[in-house]
Amino acid sequence: MPSQDTLARFIKYSESLIDSCEKNPKIIGLVLVGSTAETERVDEWSDHDFFVITESNDQEPLRSDLSWLPNFEEIAFWFRETQHGLKVVYNSGEVLEFAIFDCDELRGCTVNHHRLACGNEEVERALSTAKNRLPEVVVGDDLADFRHFLSVLVIQVGRARRGELLTAGQGIQGAATTALLKVLTRQLPYDRQLDTLDVSRRFEFAHPDIGKVIADALAQQPEQAAIDLLEISEKYLAPLWSDYPHREVQTVKEILSWTS
């Protein structure tokens, strides 16, 4: 649970943001997402996630001039992160991650935890479409994802042995871990805390024991991390998954000379 002061500051900023959006004639809606919508998850490191909705052709002026944000003069720096999205860091340490859409763009989004802070009926309909695009669980093919995991291990261990430790570490911590987490998430008991948009978010809250051993593995050098992740799959995934590909795992061990 957040401290009362932390939560109060967080909510105060959200209230100021809502007020700012309601007063701006270019803005027709505001959607709070993530912990900004579900404040019981707020802690001192939580950022403010939201969508600002405008009429068509009004998005770009708001992306270019951020003076409409609360406490604009206290912004330390900001930058354009994606076509639609920006990131803002205040001198206080508060961080904003937000996107600016018109209703057509909002309809093309996927959104999970959210709250419509303000908006007309058109915004409500667009948000409903975005919400209904989101699967309730992480979708995918377990065997294809696990084979992806195995193939990344082979590629990145090879790069590590070549001396490319940076890219090997990124590949194992990124693509390999994500692929493994997808399969684990589908095979383990469902937990609402999990984020269907980002499979690594709050995984350790839903499955603390497995989350810890994966985090410990990723703290190792690339090849040892790869070895540990494969051992984790054998310990935690194989007993749950009747189609666990033991033969393919053995092949990867032989390719990388991990057999004893």
Same domain as 245, residue 188: yes
Residue 112: inside a domain: yes
Same domain as 109, residue 91: yes
pTM of the model: 0.70
pLDDT value at 79 more than 90: yes
Mean pLDDT confidence for 54-68: 92
Q: How far apart are CA 83 and CA 105, in angstroms?
A: 11
Q: Which of 150-159, 184-193, 245-254 has the lowest mean pLDDT?
A: 184-193
Number of separate domains in the chain: 2
Same domain as 13, residue 125: yes
pLDDT value at 134 more than 60: no
Helix then strand count (H, E) for the chain reads 11, 6
Same domain as 70, residue 50: yes
pLDDT value at 3 more than 70: no
Per-residue pLDDT, 133: 60
By residue range, what is the domain housing residue 102? 4-132
Per-residue pLDDT, 176: 95
Residue 137: inside a domain: no
pLDDT-derived band at 238 (thresholds 50, 70, 90) equals very high
Same domain as 8, residue 71: yes
Residue with tokens 């790869």: 226
Q: Which two tokens stand for residue 214?
A: 């994966």
Of the candidates 88, 107, 132, which is a domain's last residue?
132
